[in-house]
Amino acid sequence: MKTLKQIFDIIEENDITFDDYEENNILCGYELNSYTDGGVNEILFLDFRDENKDPKNPKDFIREFKSYINHYTIDERIENNRQDERYKNDFTLKESLKDFTKFDKKLRRILKKIK
């Protein structure tokens, strides 16, 4: 089992930055900030509050990361971004599909590395 530091190192090696998310000085989760190859900013919010998971526990982090990846489909990511007129002007549906498919594969490769 990897440590949380090892997990964070792997995430950072894949050009994803992260910040702690705290409420009342209590660590509740993490905000992971990344970009698709097409330059679309994607923020993954890993929230440990409602599931009684410990954000300092590597096993819980991996479960939450996996849950996030499996929860948001490529279609949902494209639909969310296509609500922005600038995005629709910059990306065709085909380009969006290619970009977010690569992004999804990147996240899944990271998941395999951190397990």
**pTM to 2 decimals?**
0.92
Between CA 41 and CA 37 the distance in angstroms is: 10
Provide the pLDDT for residue 101: 98
Among residues 10, 23, 109, the alpha carbon closest in space to that of 58 is found at 10
| Range 29-53 average pLDDT | 94
